[in-house]
Structure 1
Amino acid sequence: MTTLMVQGTTSDAGKSTLVTALCRWLRRQGVSVAPFKPQNMALNSAVTADGGEIGRAQAVQAQAAGLAPHTDMNPVLLKPNSDTGAQVIIHGRAVGNMDAVVYHDYKRVAHEAVLQSHARLAARHPVVMVEGAGSPAEINLRAGDIANMGFAEAVDCPVILIADIDKGGVFAHLVGTLELLSPSEQARVCGFVINRFRGDLSLLQPGLDWLEQRTGKPVLGVLPYLMDFHLEAEDAIDQRQAGKDGELLKVVVPVLPRISNHTDFDPLRLHPQVDLRFVGPGQALPPADLVILPGSKSVRADLAFLREQGWDAAIQRHLRYGGKLLGICGGLQMLGTRIDDPHGLEGAPGSSAGLGLLDFATVLEPEKQLRNVHGRLCLEQAAVSGYEIHAGVTTGAALQRPAVTLEDGRQDGAVSGDGQVMGTYLHGLFESSGASVALLRWAGLREVRAVDYHALRERDIERLADLVEAHLDTGRLRELCGLRP
């Protein structure tokens, strides 16, 4: 059994990408490898085969490893619901909301959960590929750390340190991070990887030689900047779109303060016939064919924010002009008449009036609904697969016109009598090719091209494994994984 950990000098340095790449590279060689992230802070999550909740990055890494996502792959998930607090999820299940001070004291319990999950994965797989969080040099978080060097020390594993040269200051990032580690932690760093390099490698070589001489650590390789590359973001919203022409469907998504699972919109961003725009604070909703209200970790607070921005009036105007409106999960709840949070699950207990566009009300209950589901969309009876992650129980007359009929006999969501407004609890709607085509046609696109989103994701995972072969020291990597060079 071997554990190898990837840590980054900053957030978004490429930790998730490198772990995904290494998982697929090892799988190609017939090695059973499991991805692992001790602690993740993200509002993008996935439902696992064992009925729990983990970060979406670990679900993608599981795909790269050829495994079904499991709660042991991300034993501690923190889902922020305010600037100072988060819902704490242990082994896939919510244990409560905690502010930063309370969670700091709770880390002893979380630490045990991390070690239990790692031990189970290590017993089943000869290699465990671990992703750190943020930076190991965050001095204020060193005490009781379970996400970076604290974990590496506990399981006695080597560490690769990755840095993003595209941001600038890559040598300062690497040397500075190393300098801020303790002597035992410095000894764990077995090499560096530089990510997102553009240009002539010969011009970088003097810097690489200096880095190795200055630190005594090898550079394991330099990964090039990948154009037209997509990997689901752990947290930050990816707004990149390739050049598109012809008839484009204009889709607008208001960015709420606690927007969750915005990866729902990646298939639209990548679709050649969709012009997807994320609209932030202080921006007016532009004219569109389709407005989508996204998921939210704090539905009542985000609904109040939506009203503060004047987006509720803009949505009414959008509907008067014949536009379509879709609500997903928290967005579905906003479409109803009322949202009640009697237990204070997402803030202070209380109630909020909804937008009143569909005749139902929602009560937030302590038991979260976590399911992977399959069914048929009301539009064209298109096959759809997705997942549910919500605490809401929704009831009302509008549910008699469901948006989705599920294989287990349940019905989900609602469609307005005039067909302009639709809501569903299902995340991942647009990942199903048939459902995506039906939804885009409903929104006004006449001739819709089918796009296989899963094939696109698989293509880019393969591209990452190719980069490992071409640009990293694979002999040294095999040694670090406990394999023959």
Structure 2
Amino acid sequence: MIPKALMVQGTTSDAGKSTLVTALCRYYRRQGVAVAPFKPQNMALNSAVTVDGGEIGRAQAVQAAACGLPPHSDMNPVLLKPHSDTGAQVIIHGRVLANQSAAQYHDYKTVAMQAVLASWRRLTGQYQAVIVEGAGSPAEINLRAGDIANMGFAEAVDCPVILIADIDRGGVFAHIVGTLALLSESERRRVIGFVINRFRGDIGLLQPGLDWLEAETGKPVLAVLPYLSDLFLEAEDALSSRHGRGDGARPFDIVVPHLPSFSNHTDFDPLQLHPGVRVRFARSPDRIGGADLLVLPGSKAVRRDLARLRAMGWDTFIQRHLRYGGKLLGICGGFQMLGRSIHDPRGIEGEPGSVAGLGLLDIDTELAPDKCLRQTGGRLAGTETAVAGYEIHMGVSRGPGLAHPLLELAAGSDGAVSADGQVAGTYLHGLFDLPAAADALLAWAGYADAGAVDLAALREAGIDSLANCLAEHFDFAKLAEGLREFG
């Protein structure tokens, strides 16, 4: 039985919602079903550029790949990109609406829900099945009023729900039963089964708990999914902890300052997976020692992150790093920091004003309200080495330094390289995704051995591994029974 709509909600954040939706999307695609992913509301600093020139959460782009589709803004109609503990940039249908405080967005949610429902109607009209991902937990009492991300959405469109819980955290039965207890009666009826995720051990020892859970709730356990230790998928938001294995000798050492508004950290996945590279994310330079390559990452709040960089002493560390011959690369917001100045006359990222940059590239940047969103590709300047990725920024950089670009892209030259060749910057995210580009950039930084990973192939293998796991462990007969009883 093909579900016209099916929603995955979690007992906690990081319970496995994104991976289960990805697995279901690939599973149904294998069955010849025209399937698409959907997440009503996402909060993440990892985003992707869509085929229609919009912006959605990175996880939905991966789920689109699982369906064999290009990512589209309808797959994640509301995206929140935090710029502080109490505020976020609100993106509707892939386009920036405004910066809003948490209270302002709470009041806006009734309007946002209309955008969600418009996207939902378009997707369900186009595809046989739509697999929906919730956000966080449906049992967050303080967020239930006006909810558009979990049960509020499911109730509005009359969608059945699978509840997933992570047994690796401990307390899995309490998570499931406690979540059900905090739902309304109609919401509890909507839950047609449970998935227990990341199990390792003897399933026989777990069986008494599964039997109790089904008797206690009257709902089936649809799957106990094993812990997949070598799975690669881009992280939805949390910073990845994967590391390269090293090549038997001292690994090539890359250091990335971990700034408060660090965004699009999936840029570093190919480097973390490289067998000869070590990537260290560090909040302070105090215990870093040295590095072969220093990378300033993307930022959702460039001026604030630059102030933090200076406050933590990274500017002094950078000068010492360059004095000893190290290389420095800036990506997007990090590229802007390398220039002479950053101007924000309209208050795009806070109070209007200007700040001095690090002065390492001869450029100046002005933040502007129109966000540049495009998928693009080209080559490393002066070579035939292909690069591919996406741009996603609200600044325009100008200055003599741009006469020595790092890249030649379809839309023109991009980035800059200093006269001595030690410092470079670019607006292109995904800079290391193509193996040849990663090898060439690492060679510029001083690592001469080829061996970069093929990220696209790893992603496809990860998605297939999830679908294979689902085919082995998921009880689709029980799912079909639950869908019939619900419908």
What is the TM-score normalised by the length of structure 2? 0.97
Alignment of 1:134-149 (within 5 A): 134-149=136-151
Partner residue, 1:460: 462
* Pairwise CA distance, 1:381: 3.2
Maintained 8 Å contact 2:284/2:314: no
Report the Cα distance in structure 1 between the residues aligned to 2:225 and 2:310, rounded to whole angstroms: 45
Letter matched to residue 190 of structure 1: I
Letter matched to residue 449 of structure 1: G
Partner residue, 1:233: 235
Report the Cα distance in structure 2 between the residues aligned to 1:478 and 1:24, rounded to whole angstroms: 18
1:368 pairs with 2:371:
yes
* Pairwise CA distance, 1:475: 2.3
- The RMSD of aligned alpha carbons is 1.3
Letter matched to residue 114 of structure 1: V
Maintained 8 Å contact 1:285/1:314: no
Q: Which moved more, 1:284-293 or 1:424-433?
A: 284-293
* Pairwise CA distance, 1:432: 1.3
* Pairwise CA distance, 1:282: 7.2
* Pairwise CA distance, 1:351: 0.7
Report the Cα distance in structure 2 between the residues aligned to 1:129 and 1:429, rounded to whole angstroms: 31
Query: Could you list the runs of 5+ residues in structure 2 that have no partner in the other structure?
Result: none
Report the Cα distance in structure 2 between the residues aligned to 1:139 and 1:231, rounded to whole angstroms: 31
1:2 pairs with 2:4:
yes
Report the Cα distance in structure 2 between the residues aligned to 1:418 and 1:351, rounded to whole angstroms: 27
Secondary structure of the structure 1 residue equivalent to 2:391:
strand
Report the Cα distance in structure 1 between the residues aligned to 2:366 and 2:334, rounded to whole angstroms: 14
1:435 pairs with 2:437:
yes
Report the Cα distance in structure 2 between the residues aligned to 1:154 and 1:282, rounded to whole angstroms: 50
Maintained 8 Å contact 2:245/2:276: no
Report the Cα distance in structure 1 between the residues aligned to 2:28 and 2:323, rounded to whole angstroms: 54
Going from structure 1 to structure 2, the CA distance change for 1:129 and 1:283 (only over 3 Å counts) comes to farther
Alignment of 1:357-396 (within 5 A): 357-378=360-381, 380-396=383-399
Secondary structure of the structure 2 residue equivalent to 1:177:
helix
Deviations 1:146-195 (A, max 9, x none): 00000000000100000111111111111100100000000000000011
Report the Cα distance in structure 2 between the residues aligned to 1:475 and 1:370, rounded to whole angstroms: 43
Report the Cα distance in structure 2 between the residues aligned to 1:481 and 1:50, rounded to whole angstroms: 33
41, 49, 52: which one pairs with 1:50? Answer: 52
Going from structure 1 to structure 2, the CA distance change for 1:283 and 1:45 (only over 3 Å counts) comes to farther
Secondary structure of the structure 2 residue equivalent to 1:430:
coil
Maintained 8 Å contact 1:228/1:242: no
1:330 pairs with 2:360:
no
Partner residue, 2:203: 201
Partner residue, 1:156: 158
Report the Cα distance in structure 2 between the residues aligned to 1:480 and 1:444, rounded to whole angstroms: 58
Maintained 8 Å contact 2:220/2:478: no
Alignment of 1:309-320 (within 5 A): 309-320=312-323
Secondary structure of the structure 1 residue equivalent to 2:96:
strand
Maintained 8 Å contact 1:284/1:311: no
Report the Cα distance in structure 2 between the residues aligned to 1:257 and 1:32, rounded to whole angstroms: 40
Partner residue, 2:271: 268
* Pairwise CA distance, 1:283: 4.8
269, 278, 281: which one pairs with 1:278? Answer: 281
Report the Cα distance in structure 2 between the residues aligned to 1:83 and 1:237, rounded to whole angstroms: 17
* Pairwise CA distance, 1:474: 2.0
Maintained 8 Å contact 1:285/1:311: no
Secondary structure of the structure 2 residue equivalent to 1:391:
strand
Give the length in aligned residue pairs: 481
Partner residue, 2:291: 288
Maintained 8 Å contact 1:3/1:481: no
Q: Which moved more, 1:277-286 or 1:294-303?
A: 277-286
Going from structure 1 to structure 2, the CA distance change for 1:282 and 1:186 (only over 3 Å counts) comes to farther
Letter matched to residue 215 of structure 1: T
Secondary structure of the structure 2 residue equivalent to 1:116:
helix
Report the Cα distance in structure 1 between the residues aligned to 2:97 and 2:478, rounded to whole angstroms: 41
Deviations 1:186-209 (A, max 9, x none): 000000001101111111111111
Partner residue, 2:358: 355
Secondary structure of the structure 2 residue equivalent to 1:431:
coil
* Pairwise CA distance, 1:230: 1.4
Going from structure 1 to structure 2, the CA distance change for 1:450 and 1:259 (only over 3 Å counts) comes to closer
301, 307, 313: which one pairs with 1:304? Answer: 307
Report the Cα distance in structure 2 between the residues aligned to 1:295 and 1:121, rounded to whole angstroms: 32
Partner residue, 1:345: 348
* Pairwise CA distance, 1:448: 1.4
Q: Which moved more, 1:226-235 or 1:140-149?
A: 226-235
Report the Cα distance in structure 2 between the residues aligned to 1:127 and 1:478, rounded to whole angstroms: 14
Deviations 1:120-171 (A, max 9, x none): 0000001000000000000000000000000000000100000111111111
Maintained 8 Å contact 2:328/2:423: yes
Maintained 8 Å contact 1:4/1:159: yes
Maintained 8 Å contact 1:374/1:407: yes
Letter matched to residue 225 of structure 1: Y
Maintained 8 Å contact 1:256/1:302: yes
Secondary structure of the structure 1 residue equivalent to 2:432:
helix
Report the Cα distance in structure 1 between the residues aligned to 2:204 and 2:383, rounded to whole angstroms: 56
Report the Cα distance in structure 2 between the residues aligned to 1:257 and 1:162, rounded to whole angstroms: 30
What is the TM-score normalised by the length of structure 1? 0.97
Report the Cα distance in structure 2 between the residues aligned to 1:152 and 1:95, rounded to whole angstroms: 25
Report the Cα distance in structure 2 between the residues aligned to 1:315 and 1:151, rounded to whole angstroms: 48
Letter matched to residue 390 of structure 2: Y
Instruction: Quote the sequence identity (%).
Output: 68
Alignment of 1:75-224 (within 5 A): 75-224=77-226
Letter matched to residue 464 of structure 1: L
Partner residue, 1:398: 401
Query: Could you list the runs of 5+ residues in structure 1 that have no partner in the other structure?
Result: none
* Pairwise CA distance, 1:449: 1.2
Letter matched to residue 384 of structure 1: V
Maintained 8 Å contact 2:258/2:282: yes
